[in-house]
Amino acid sequence: MQGQSGAGWLALLLLPYRLLWTFRSDSTTHRNMRLRQAMEELGPIYIKFGQLLSTRRDFLDTQLADELQSLQDNVPPFVSPSIASIIEGSLGRSVDSIFKSLDSEPFACASVAQVYKATLLNNDEVVVKVIRPGIEKIVAADLKLLRWIARQIEERTDIGTRLHPVEIVNDYEKIIYDELDLLSEAANSSQLKRNFENSSVLYVPKIYWDFSSRQVLVMERIHGIPVADIAALNAQNTDLKKLAETGIDIFFTQVFDHNFFHADMHPGNIFVSRETPENPKYIAVDCAIIGSLSNNDQEYLAKNLLAIFKREYRKVAELHVACGWVPRQTKIHEFESAIRSVCEPIFEKPLKEISFAHLLIQLFRTASRFNMEVQPSLVLLQKTLLNVEGLGRQLYPDLDLWQTALPYLENWNRRRLNPFTLISRIQENIPNWIDQLPQFPQLLIDAATESKQLGEINESLRHQQEQTRSAMERQNRRSRITGMILLVGAAISLLPGINEAIQNLPAATLGPALLGLYLLCFRR
């Protein structure tokens, strides 16, 4: 796949017009299908973009999201250059100095990479993943066009105002470039493996760092059962209920204990060990996309989930405001009412029939009406939860995610508030505080200086305010006295008796009286 063919470039040039026509079509079903077909025709980058787009169910129509989710990475393998030449060019070593055997044909092909079976000189069985040659240039060209298309959709269609396609393309750019760096995937895999070291529920294959680079990744070959192969799992008497519940437990452990979660957990990346089927163990591969949350987002998410479980809708609304997901000026009672209208009909169903992921999606959609900012980390979390819950229900249709998740969240909250946990956090920060002790005197001096300067500024402001207030008071007096003068003048002109009496006053008396009145009105 060295570049685009003439027909491919023609399709690229025509795509904006096809998409605009697609979104203006009357038939929703045909419109969604044509969009999916257009992306399939354009190849791997657009297929992967369509898959990412399908995760934005907080903005997308459900039918459109389902249509795009059906996109598959059914990409033909590249033939040239050979796998041997790619490895030698990237690692600077001959294939014979690394491998005892190396397949010439890939056994799996994806959008940006393909995978080969191999055996190292020490007889370790491995797989070799290589990036498609020339894919970087294709990605850069496709992203440029995708960004232009996104702008057209955002400016010219109704769906663009809700979907934010330009922002989605920007997020996609970060994801796709991370996937082009296999060292990043290797580092993610190693971290995930450490997080679940000696775990009985999840295994992550070993990375062979000496034989890996940005374009080549060598890792341990696994021999598990694809998680979607229910027949094979049943054949070895796998406890599917426990397998489904374990998947939920792994998800929450990654999100709330490790704050490092595999964000691409579709069935193609998940296997089940052939050992101990009565206590099934997952095997995770392809860690190119990893999610994490800020400490605040992690804490507020857990609190939100607990409040949703307990139907404390006002607390859910307050938490959204407190963590900055919606603007500070949001009216809590209106937001609370909107959340209640979403949740109550759902909670009327039996818990095992309620989709936790779809409930969160509905909440995000509701929050978007209150100008909720798009949180990329939460989008990844939402996508992962959709995959995990869907997979769990596929394994065990009666899975009650609520029964599995609620005890976990309650235990997490108790651990967070445990005095020993608080002491542990303080102990973790003590070295940082000690490092800052030598700077403490200077920090005090700086703080005192800033405080003095702030006091001087405040004093100046108070003085200016006092001057302004005095000036306003003088002006008010002038206005009142001027009004009295005008009133007196009007009375003099209207009442002949008074007018005549004043005219008969001696000048020695009238002059000082008028001068005093003038000074009273206009003195500074």
pLDDT tens-digit readout, 90-129: 999 999 999 999 999 998 887 788 999 999 999 999 999 9
> CA–CA distance from 82 to each of 67, 91, 106, 451 (Å)?
36, 14, 11, 69
Per the listing, tokens 């685009």 go with 4
Q: Where in the chain are the domains?
A: 6-74+138-176, 79-131+181-221, 227-417, 463-522
Query: SS3 of 212, please?
Result: coil
**Cα separation of 97 and 211, whole Å?**
11
Q: What pLDDT does 521 receive?
A: 45
Bridge-based pairing state of the strands 108-109 and 125-131: unpaired
More confident residue, 219 or 473: 219
d(CA 473, CA 481): 12
What SS3 string covers 69-99? Answer: HCCCCCCCCCCCCCHHHHHHHHHCCCHHHCE
* pLDDT at 75 > cutoff 50: yes
SS3 labels along 442-494: HHHHHHHHHHHHHHHHHHHHHHHHHHHHHHHHHHHHHHHHHHHHHHHHHHHHH
Residue 301 in this model has a pLDDT that exceeds 80: yes
pLDDT attached to residue 443:
62
pLDDT band at 139 (very low <50, low <70, confident <90, very high): confident
What is the average pLDDT score of the chain?
Answer: 78
Confidence (pLDDT) at 239: 94
Ordered DSSP codes for 262-316 = ES---GGGEEE-SS-TTS--EEE---SSEE---HHHHHHHHHHHHHHHTT-HHHH
Prediction pTM value: 0.70
Identify the CATH assignment for 79-131+181-221 out of 3.40.50.300, 3.30.1490.190, 3.90.1170.50, 3.30.200.20. Answer: 3.30.200.20
Residues 126/218, Cβ–Cβ less than 8 Å: yes
341-390 pLDDT tens trace: 988 888 877 767 777 777 877 887 788 788 776 666 677 787 788 788 88
pLDDT recorded at residue 222: 94
Active site residues: 264
Residues in the chain: 524
pLDDT at residue number 459: 65
**pLDDT top residue among 57 and 246:** 246
Tokens of 467: 């001057």
